[in-house]
Amino acid sequence: MKRTQEIHYDKVAEAIAFLKTHYREQPSLEAIADEVFMSPQYFQRIFKEWAGISPKKFLQYISVENAKKILGESQNSLFDAAYETGLSGTGRLHDLFVSIEGMTPGEYKNGGQNLHINYSFAESPFGNIMVASTNKGICHMGFMDNNEAAFEELRAKFPNAKYQQVVDIAQQNAMFIFTQEWDKLQKIKLHLKGTKFQLKVWEALLKIPKGKLVTYGSIAEKIKNPKASRAVGTAIGSNPVAYLIPCHRVIKGNGETGGYMWGQTRKSAIIGWEAAKTAE
């Protein structure tokens, strides 16, 4: 049976999907609530509990036009402007407390033969999530609907590792990112399996501040490979750590949200949620 938080996110996700396709109509609270089969008053309450703002205000953050406006604020250097905003403002950049350690060639090739991986399942504002860690840091984090399928996906990445379903300190610290102020977080270490190019792209993503959006092209420019937008997109799509490596903050140059491994609706939800938190 689904827990209350999961049910609420499901309803919020339905509402967000509706808003994404009907935002030009500026639907009323009653129309949105009717779409998810809830009373306007109850829907308004659970939405504000989840996002911290009203559905109407949230709509402003997830619309394509708002994304274009965000991008248009710094046409010449989107990534650098976002980076400097994070440094000069009160928000804390990911790279101040998240660091990546790539796996050794041996670990990469042997499917994690000598790795001991702890994994656990938890709730997040965006649905259930699976977190896995080695003795060096978080190696996987992903939103999921089925525990067994999620574990099989993890085991496919590290077929020779030894697994234990247990919550450790690394996993707890990672999950605190959804509930605690960033300046109160302990440093989070990531232990990732990836090529040099992938690690370079993922490290670039860590420099995008909360509440900011950049384009695939700007990431390619930042890693000094401006013609590699497609390869950058592939590396972003291979991100093994949801949210901690904020691939959800990368959108298309035309302002559309673009794809997301864990679903476009969830991506829009995260973008809107972060924008609301930043506005606060």
Closest CA to 46 of 17, 6, 79: 6
Residues 247 and 193 reside in one and the same domain: yes
Residues 229 and 149 reside in one and the same domain: yes
Question: CA 131 to CA 119: how far, in whole Å?
Answer: 6
Residues 36 and 133 reside in one and the same domain: no
In the chain, the number of structural domains is: 2
Share in percent of the chain as helix, strand, coil (round to 5): 50, 15, 30
Q: Is 247 a catalytic residue?
A: yes
In a domain? residue 269? no
Residues 101 and 9 reside in one and the same domain: no
**Which residue type is seen at 207?**
K
In a domain? residue 276? no
Residues 8 and 78 reside in one and the same domain: no
In a domain? residue 264? no
Question: CA 19 to CA 58: how far, in whole Å?
Answer: 9
Helix segments in the chain, DSSP class H: 4-22, 29-35, 40-51, 55-62, 64-72, 78-88, 105-109, 147-157, 169-175, 196-205, 216-222, 229-237, 264-279
**Residue pLDDT tens, the chain, 280 long:** 456 566 688 889 899 889 888 887 889 999 999 999 999 999 999 998 888 888 888 887 777 666 766 666 554 454 555 444 443 343 444 444 688 888 888 887 788 888 999 999 999 999 999 999 999 999 999 999 899 999 999 999 999 999 999 999 999 999 998 888 766 677 889 999 999 999 999 999 988 888 888 889 889 988 888 888 889 999 999 999 999 999 999 998 888 888 999 999 999 999 988 888 777 6
Catalytic residue among 247, 269, 270, 271: 247
Say what the pTM is: 0.83
Question: CA 151 to CA 131: how far, in whole Å?
Answer: 10
In a domain? residue 87? yes
Q: Provide the residue range defining the domain that includes 29.
A: 4-62
Q: Are 189 and 229 in contact (CB under 8 A)?
A: no
Residues 80 and 151 reside in one and the same domain: yes
